[in-house]
Amino acid sequence: MDQSIPSHPLNGSPSAGRRLPEWFKITPKRDDRYQRLKRLVADLNLHTVCEEAHCPNIWECWNAGTATIMILGETCTRSCGFCAVKTGRPSELDLDEPRRVAEAVSTLGLRHAVITSVNRDELHDGGAAIFADTIRRIRAATPGCTVEVLIPDFKGAHAAQDTVFDARPDILNHNTETVPRLYRPVRPQGKYQWTLELIQRAKAAGLTTKSGLMLGLGETAEEVDAVMRDLIAHGCDLLTLGQYLQPSKTHLPVARYYHPDDFDRLKTTGERLGFRHVESGPLVRSSYHAEDQVI
């Protein structure tokens, strides 16, 4: 059976300015759980990738009482072409942050916590110790809560990666983001081989591994096929596939909006290649339906 992505033209339409296709229509809704979570995050002086990265699913997730907490501050040392998170020089390292994250997880009564971060390349360990401390504190405060971490590449530093691995997160996620040809404009301070090696090392450490791709930046179907095969070859268990949306006029433009049917075909292809689960759809992001994936 042919396991490659179909070679016929994609159904999605080329980008026409900032106008979104009809399948991106979202009706914002702020119920009591949304407001409670927003107050809790503010009271504990925490950050969420939901807000910082302008996630289109914030209404759905926050109304369900879930959020992806972003540690290591709100300022990233990298300047990725797709990301809305602020770039600059971080001013400090908040050593009390893991305790407050654990308090938020406990207060919300989460069964699955997702923790991500900005890049902190100026730190000797890239912030790996804060990740490990956060995992341990969540487990102490909320026994039975599974923990997923979406980590940076730590510039390929094995010691920093091992610090996180040794804390034994239930899911170790590191996003590939795009195809190798587009790394320079999309992830100028990242390296495709760092990503593959990190996934491989996490799998060798006995962890469940996960990665994700944004589509619509100008990649070809053959390139997406090749990345999925590389991820499988390096031990990736779970995969997310979503549509890239331009967060502002200063970010990379959308080259193509993929049709939902394209995402369905990609999901089928990924499952045939061997991923344990593929979450694929226009609005899918790294932590979308994350609790269902760990189950």
Query: Is residue 132 domain-resident?
Result: yes
Return the axis-axis angle of helices 260-273 and 221-233, rounded to nearest 10°: 30
Domain of residue 47, residue span: 28-294
Residue 168 host element (H or E): none
For residue 39, the domain's CATH number is 3.20.20.70
CA 183 to chain centre: 16
63 in a domain, yes or no? yes
C-alpha to C-alpha distance for 78 and 92, rounded to whole angstroms: 16
Q: How many domains does the chain have?
A: 1
- Cα 33 to Cα 30, 41, 253, 293, distances in angstroms: 8, 12, 34, 23
The reply to whether 285 falls in a domain is yes
Note the pLDDT tens digit of each residue in 23-71.
Answer: 777 666 666 666 666 676 667 767 665 554 455 555 555 455 456 788 9
Q: Is residue 55 within 8 Å of residue 240, measured between CB atoms?
A: no
Q: Are the C-beta atoms of 202 and 165 separated by less than 8 Å?
A: yes
182 within some domain: yes
pTM over 0.75: yes
Q: Which two tokens stand for residue 84?
A: 């809305």
User: Cβ–Cβ contacts within 10 Å for residue 175, how many?
Assistant: 21
In a domain, residue 38? The reply is: yes
- Please check whether residue 17 lies inside any domain of the structure: no
| E-only strand ranges, 29-166 | 47-48, 68-71, 75-76, 86-87, 112-117, 146-150
**191-243: per-residue pLDDT in tens?**
999 999 999 999 999 999 999 999 999 999 999 999 999 999 999 999 999 99
Domain assignment present for residue 229? The answer is yes
Residue 16 resides in a domain: no
Q: What is the pLDDT of residue 129?
A: 98
